Amino acid sequence: MPSQMTDIYPRADKYISALTKCDMAELKLKENTLLLTRSGTIGTVSFVSKTTQGKVFSDDVIRVTFKNIEDLGFVYAYLKSKIGNKILTTNGYGSVITHLEPEHLATVPIPNAPKKIKERIHNLIVKSYSLRDESNDLIDKATQFLIDELHLPDIRDFDVNDYKKGAPVETFSVKLSNMNGRADASYHVPIVDAIVEHLKKYADEVTTVGDPRISNTVLLPPRFARVYVDEGYGRVLIGGKQLYELDPSGKKYLSNTKHNRLLDQLEVLQNTVLITRSGTIGKVAFVPKHWEHWIPSDHIIRVVPATKDIAGYLYVFMCSDYGYELITRYTYGSVVDEIDDNHVRQIAIPLLKNKEVQKQINDLALEANEKRYEAYRLEQQALRIMDEDVIYAKR
């Protein structure tokens, strides 16, 4: 979906039938293509890399190809710059939902920089996206190590203990002694019990996130009235919707003077694990170096790992399909779904019998996080060149 276009590692949560009357090949992303959102939040820009190539994206995403390859990264950087993005978004139309059409792009002025500058910017952007792909490969490798060591089947293949097999809806029974004060069926879903029993069978030990060996702190930040300021006068605020992005778009800034004492308590450090706690529950992020001292919103729970030696492993398990089921089982609320810090402390975490494999998983995740920081640094370098040598260049 368009909302996933800027995710570091977009994963499909919707599927389109082959019976749909559309050209499926046209919806698949192709190499060397620039992407732009065309409705709702317009002007969001992305770049087709190995991770997204061949994936089917909504027709709400405009595809742009270029005659000269160096123009791809150059135009990407221009449209991500403050000036370029402002010019792009002023071309939108619509009173309720803003739209941007391909023909509107014909009116967007693009500076024609010397070829050497274009190539320099393009190469930085290509390298940035290549590092994102490499980080995704490392996370996939770490996850596969975890699956192999714990002999985990596909999440859909767990043998759950349904009360009546073949029933039109899922049916199951719960012993009174296992109620844990929860009468809502979503808490007692059999898949969770099946995962935990499987982990106990193959792990050295199954503990919880709240174990001092796993985490130092699990923090649910207090709600507070926010005072926003312009860039340069406050700390970056990250929302739950932006948690999967490398460089969160549409940044907001919290006043340093109005929130001075509180911000020091709410800032995050590298390798902290973040979990969304309301609305869309169970999105997990691993804080890269460039997010240090930023402020995740009060809709995000912070898990500060006990040591660097467990941080990456904790992240890999929590962001897996199995970790997601264990997180979301605690969901409560009739209108807006919620979980809290007490729930997160109770989430089951397996410790592996093979400590060397556990270390490999941890190290791969830490390396992936470093690559994401380097990818951010290269993109910022490209944007600086765009500003200094193109947009605001002095003759």
DSSP string computed for 160-207: ---SSTT-SS------GGG-TT---GGGG-HHHHHHHHHHHHHSSEEE
What are the counts of helices (DSSP H) followed by strands (DSSP E) for the chain? Answer: 10, 13
Report pLDDT digits (tens) over 250-288: 678 888 777 777 777 788 888 999 999 887 888 899 999
**Mind listing the pLDDT tens digit for each residue in 38-66?**
766 667 888 888 888 888 877 777 888 88
pLDDT digits (tens, 9 = 90+) for 218-234: 988 887 778 888 887 87
Sorting pLDDT into bands at 50, 70 and 90, what band is 236? confident
Of the two residues 209 and 249, the one the predictor is more confident about is 209
Residue whose tokens read 């660097």: 308
Give the global pTM. 0.87
Over residues 296-301, mean pLDDT: 86
When the pLDDT of each residue in the chain is averaged and rounded to a whole number, the result is 84
Q: What is the pLDDT of residue 195?
A: 87
Torsion over CA of 383, 90, 102 and 59, rounded to 10 degrees? 80
> What is the rounded distance in angstroms from the CA atom of residue 1 to the CA atom of residue 22?
16
Strand partners, 285: 274
pLDDT digits (tens, 9 = 90+) for 1-13: 767 777 888 887 7
User: Which structural domains are found in the chain, ordered by start?
Assistant: 2-112 (3.90.220), 136-373 (3.90.220.20)
Based on C-alpha coordinates, what's the Rg of the chain? Answer: 23
Whole-number pLDDT of residue 98:
64
Question: At residue 208, what are phi and psi to the nearest 5 degrees?
Answer: -130, 165
Whether 92 shows a pLDDT value over 70: the answer reads no
| φ, ψ for residue 29, nearest 5 deg | -75, 140
> How far is residue 179's CA from residue 188's CA, in Å, rounded to a whole number?
8
Helix-helix angle 355-386:115-150, to 10 degrees: 160
Beta bridge partners of 28: 56
| Residue-level pLDDT at 143 | 93
Are 161 and 193 a contacting pair, CB within 8 Å? yes
